[in-house]
Amino acid sequence: MHRKRSAAREVASIDPASYTPRVRSFHFLFLLSLAGALAPAARADLVDLSDSSRRPGKPPALVLRVEGGNDFAPYGYVGGCVSYLTESLFEIEAGLGGGFPGLQLGLAARRLFGENGSYVVTELALAGNTRVNRGSDADPFINLQAQQARSSFWTSLGLGFEQRQGVFDLSVVGAFALTTASLTPHFSFHGGVGFGF
């Protein structure tokens, strides 16, 4: 038992000869980088996130939106998305919804043109359904595997309108969609209302 205690003391003690200037500089740099990483978190309570801190006419950067659309809508017949707007009026959206049957997942990149919260929107969206082949009109002689698939993936290019003012958001987009199974264009429509932060 005496040997176990002495072994534990040897492990817990630091040999002064092994604590070289190189090890000390490593520890110093590690603590400095740790302090640098934690500094923004410490300053977060100093940032005013209230509505009074926004400039008049500045749209909310983050919006949670409830969406509805047709069978080629990126977020399903009924769904939702999270939308982030940058200072340069470039918007990124990600969402999901019911494709009935299946889950419909979508990702959209949007460019907004306008000012004071009223914008014309161009949209490029990638979407898919986990259970339904939306491109089932594919020619079986050209693409038999795609016609028999139980899921699908499509791309859409659209134009619409977005009102993003105060804490409210309204968006409507019409688009043409092309599936991976067929190059026949399909019409897509989706829109929704949201709450901004």
Q: Tell me the pTM.
A: 0.67
Say which CATH number the domain at 156 has.
2.40.160.20
Segments in 44-170 forming alpha helices (H): 144-147
Angstrom distance (rounded) from CA 155 to CA 147 = 17
Mean pLDDT by 10 residues, the chain (197 residues): 53 56 65 62 51 64 96 94 95 94 94 92 94 68 61 90 93 92 86 94
Residues 182 and 150 in one domain: yes
Q: Which amino acid is at 119?
A: Y
The pLDDT score that the predictor gives to residue 132 is: 83
Domain that holds residue 27: 2-42
Residues 119 and 154 in one domain: yes
What dihedral do alpha carbons 48, 111, 179, 132 form, nearest 10°?
A: 20
The pLDDT score that the predictor gives to residue 133 is: 79
Element containing residue 20 per DSSP (H, E): none
Residues 28 and 64 in one domain: no
The pLDDT score that the predictor gives to residue 134 is: 78
3-state secondary structure of 145: helix
